[in-house]
Amino acid sequence: MGMVELAILHARKSGRVVAIGHSLGGRLSLMSSADFAMGISPPLDGSYGARTEELLKKLRGYRVVTDSPGKVFDLLAKIPDWEDNDESRSMIIYGSRDVPEIVESCDRLRATKDNVLRIEGALHSDTYLMEMTFKVIDGQLAKWFNGPH
């Protein structure tokens, strides 16, 4: 059992649990056993293009320190695919100027699902800081916790 699941198990003692994460944490949140889950700029696909990988290795190396610059991509490839089987328990928020592969996969999902929101002008690194993101999260939490269950 991973750390996310241990945290959810502990928090569940107090009631229903929402997992919220950004980027890879967003993907892990969506795949968790939490009662509700939000992924902010989650990488839904298991891989990135070579150009994006190289750019992220250069620009994001200070955020995720590993023994190998490609380790994050290796881990991402090993995570099982996420399928949105229950729109009532999940939400995805992403930026229109996010990582190209994230925009593409989230745009595809948004075309058929109501629980996917695109924030215009938001970058991968600031989507979770946008006022609109907080408003959406607040509204969704109110629906999940004040609605019928």
The helix/strand/coil state of 55 is: helix
Angle at 91 between CA 4 and CA 126, to 5 degrees: 80
Share of the chain above pLDDT 90, in %: 58
CB burial of 81-106 (b: ≥16 within 10 Å; e: otherwise) equals ebebeeeeebbbbbbebbbebbbebb
Task: Report pLDDT for 81.
Answer: 77
CA dist 86 and 44 (Å) reads 16
In this predicted model, what pLDDT tens digit does every residue of 27-79 receive, in sequence order? Answer: 999 999 999 999 999 988 776 677 766 666 665 555 555 566 566 677 777 77
CA dist 72 and 82 (Å) reads 17
What is the pTM (predicted TM-score) of this model? 0.83
The helix/strand/coil state of 51 is: helix
Q: What is the mean pLDDT of residues 17-35?
A: 93
Task: Report pLDDT for 75.
Answer: 73
Task: Report pLDDT for 82.
Answer: 81
